[in-house]
C-alpha cells in the first residue's frame, strides 16, 4: 500500500490501477475471512480504508482549483 503522499504523486490512470489492485486484494481478503482461511480481520478493514484514500485523491484531482 502506498502512503497518501505517494498517492498524490500518481496520475489518473495509475490511481485507477491502484484502485483495481486494492479492490482485488480486498475481495481475496474477504473471501479468505468468510471461508475461515484467514483470521486477520484487520486486513479487510485496512484495504477498505486504503480504497477510500485512493478515491479521495481521485476526487481531489477531478475538482478544479479556484
Per-residue model confidence as pLDDT tens digits over 24-50:
999 999 999 999 998 998 999 999 999
Q: Is the pLDDT of residue 13 over 80?
A: yes
- pTM for the model stands at 0.87
Q: Which residue has the cell 502512503?
A: 3
Q: pLDDT band for position 63 (50/70/90)?
A: confident
The whole-number pLDDT of residue 65 equals: 67
Residue 61 reports pLDDT greater than 80: yes
Q: What is the per-residue pLDDT for 49?
A: 97
Dist. CA 23–CA 61, nearest whole Å = 20
Amino acid at each position: 500500500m502506498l502512503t497518501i503522499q505517494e498517492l498524490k504523486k500518481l496520475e489518473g490512470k495509475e490511481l485507477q490501477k491502484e484502485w483495481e489492485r486494492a479492490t482485488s486484494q480486498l475481495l481475496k481478503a474477504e473471501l479468505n475471512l468468510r471461508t475461515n482461511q484467514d483470521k486477520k480481520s484487520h486486513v479487510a478493514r485496512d484495504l477498505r480504508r486504503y480504497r477510500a484514500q485512493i478515491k479521495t485523491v481521485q476526487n481531489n484531482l477531478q475538482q478544479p482549483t479556484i
